[in-house]
Amino acid sequence: MSPRQRALATSNGQPLAADRLGVRKTYKLYIGGAFPRTESGRSYEITGARGGALANACRGTRKDIRDAVRAARKALPDWASKTAYNRSQILYRIAELMEGRRDQFIGEVMAAEGVGRQRATRLVNAAIDRWVWYAGWADKYSQLMGTVNPVAGSYFNFSVPEPTGVVGVIAPEGSSLLGLVSRLAPVVVSGNCAVVLASESRPLPAVTLTEVLATSDVPGGVVNLITGLRRELVTHLAGHMDVNALDAYGLDPAVATAVEETAAENVKRLVRPPAGGADSVDWLSSEAQSPYLIGEFTETKTVWHPIGS
């Protein structure tokens, strides 16, 4: 066996038989429940936090974003109309499947973020637990966000939260898995559909998450993932007229103003990162999860109903 073959003859750190090479994983986009390659055919190299090539990822384009938004819009009526209890079951199923692939996620987070196994295990465990936590809020957040309003008359007045629609999610750049889950889960739990721009430098755990979504009960199109260069993608997502809201947690502060102006063209709801940016967030803390984050991507509908005799 040549030196190159010996170097390649490992899979996830485990030695392989001398007569075979490892099967390399192909990382693709996730649109409408399928795994297409980018329409441009381009890719870019992903390197680990400690150096060394890990894989090639698709370099998404404006057309890929259009396709993802179209898929999200198509999936929205069915997803938004599901009962809260059913969405809770579906989110819990994501956690179940991630639990079965913990070792794979831990290995990818270690390579992407340059952390040790103990730290990566904490991050992956927290990501799984966060799906469970938001699954529990699926049929409860409306009681927190909604209300029965006092009125002077023979009728009821209700304020009821409803999903905003299609939400663009710019994932945090530094947290490859937990940061993404922390921003994505509160978007979809209320019935929104999402188009996600993965971390540019650390997208591989996010792609593996979509493989979990594809084998779970999440309908195709509810979550769509685009990998690629932020400078080529962010403004197209922010300016798309069929995107109703934008989670800009992973937005580069240097381009924040321009992106916000683009998003304002069709009065998108915009959620900004904290003053220190997404990198200042401790994703393991309880502050990174809140039912009020669900409310950031809901609209309040007011209903008047006469009191029967």
Residue 167 pLDDT exceeds 90:
yes
Label residue 12 by pLDDT band (50, 70, 90): low
At residue 128, the pLDDT reads 98
Mean pLDDT of 2-23: 58
At residue 164, the pLDDT reads 96
Using alpha carbons only, what angle is made at residue 231 by residues 238 and 202, rounded to the nearest 5 degrees? 100
At residue 253, the pLDDT reads 84
Query: pLDDT tens across 190-230, in order?
Result: 999 999 999 999 999 999 999 999 999 999 999 999 999 99
Mean residue pLDDT across the chain: 90
Q: Which of 97, 75, 94 is nearest to 135 (CA)?
A: 94
- Residue 183: burial class (beta carbons within 10 Å; 0-12, 13-18, 19+): buried
At residue 1, the pLDDT reads 46
Label residue 24 by pLDDT band (50, 70, 90): confident
DSSP track, the chain: --HHHHHH-EETTEE--TT----PPPP--BBTTB-PPPTT--EEEEE-TTSSEEEEEE---HHHHHHHHHHHHHHHHHHHHS-HHHHHHHHHHHHHHHHHTHHHHHHHHHHHH---HHHHHHHHHHHHHHHHHHHHHTTTHHHHH-EEPP-SSSEEEEEEEEE-SEEEEE--SS-TTHHHHHHHHHHHTTT-EEEEE--SSS-HHHHHHHHHHHTSSPPTTSEEEE-S-HHHHHHHHHH-TT--EEE-TT--GGGHHHHHHHHGGGT-EEEPPPTT-GGG--TTSGGG--HHHHHTTEEEEEEEEEPP-
At residue 98, the pLDDT reads 98
Label residue 4 by pLDDT band (50, 70, 90): very low
Residue 78 pLDDT exceeds 90:
yes
- pTM comes to 0.89
At residue 18, the pLDDT reads 66
Residue 266 pLDDT exceeds 80:
yes
Query: pLDDT tens across 168-181, in order?
Result: 999 999 999 999 99
Using alpha carbons only, what angle is made at residue 216 by residues 213 and 218, rounded to the nearest 5 degrees? 70
Label residue 2 by pLDDT band (50, 70, 90): very low
Label residue 127 by pLDDT band (50, 70, 90): very high
Domains within the chain, CATH numbers bracketed: 28-306 (3.40.605.10)
